[in-house]
Amino acid sequence: MKASPLFSVCIGACLILFSSITPAQENGAAQENGASDSETPTERADRLYETFASTAAGLDLKSQGGADVFKLQTQPLFRFTSDGDIFGSVYVWHDENQRLAVLGTIGSLPIQGVTVEFIELHLLSPKPIEPVMINGFPTKRWTPRVDDLTMHPVPDAPEVAGTPAARLLQMRSMARQFSSEMVSNGVKNQLRLLPKPLYRYANPTQQHDGALFAFVWDQGTDPEQVVRLESIEVNGKVAWYYQPLRLTYRELTLTHKGSEVWHVNEFFDRDQPLQNTPYITGLTAPIPQPQ
């Protein structure tokens, strides 16, 4: 994720407040983008990753009625950096049955010389959840629709294999049949599939196995598009299904063996205070530099 012009405008007032409580950047370039001249690059990255983990742990995600509180898998699936100034961690939350409930990225990027945290969440659970408040610019209330969370049969998929190792080989092969394209500032970018899945289901069975596969672009390894593959039993027959997931506000197109199977336009409603799409994104807060 990189900030849109509207994002930058929205945080202007906060940056003014932030600068009033933060020591002036007297040491010039050494303190740009939230860095301190007393920090090594590794120390800075570790500090940012700890901030993301704290933000993830503080999110209140649960089913409608609150009976099922989603549990964060504290170890991130993936950490990424881009150009030395954009960092992020990818997380998942599970429901009480240990099934995937939410996928999210929490990271940081520089805006006007200040490191600002961003958050992206995508609902995976097919059941409604309690409204989630995301503090930021502006603060958002997220009540995602579940009717958009459709699993589609994988075209020409093989029969689901009987062993976990064989199913993983099948999923990796099916993932390579998909291609993803992203439009950024009017330019089409062919995304690259990471060779290993971001996530593999725990305790897999033939009736319920799956994985998340990520597509990234050439400006870093921030997942922009994710394809979820899952074996599902319907009317006594087990088959492979897929679900496209966005982790960017940009326009995306997914193809399977050259045929378009999914398309989403740029997410222009990303700055609205009320959000009801399965995907939400926004800036949360400036990240103070160490004193």
- What are the extents of the domains in the chain? 5-286
* pLDDT < 50 positions in the chain: 5-33
Q: Which two tokens stand for residue 168?
A: 């993983």
The Cα-based distances of 287 to 108, 151, 195, 212, 221 in angstroms read: 8, 37, 32, 30, 22
Distance CA 186, CA 230 (A): 33
pLDDT at residue 83, as a whole number:
74
Q: How far is CA 93 from its chain centroid? A: 12
- For 178, phi and psi rounded to 5 degrees? -95, 150
pLDDT digits (tens, 9 = 90+) for 153-191: 999 999 999 999 999 999 999 999 999 999 999 999 999
User: What residues contact residue 86 under an 8 Å CB cut-off, 6+ apart?
Assistant: 2, 107, 108, 109, 110, 220, 222
Distance CA 255, CA 263 (A): 9
Distance CA 93, CA 103 (A): 7
pLDDT at residue 218, as a whole number:
83
pLDDT at residue 37, as a whole number:
60
- For 75, phi and psi rounded to 5 degrees? -80, 120
249: left (phi over 0), alpha (psi -120 to 50) or beta: alpha
pLDDT at residue 4, as a whole number:
53
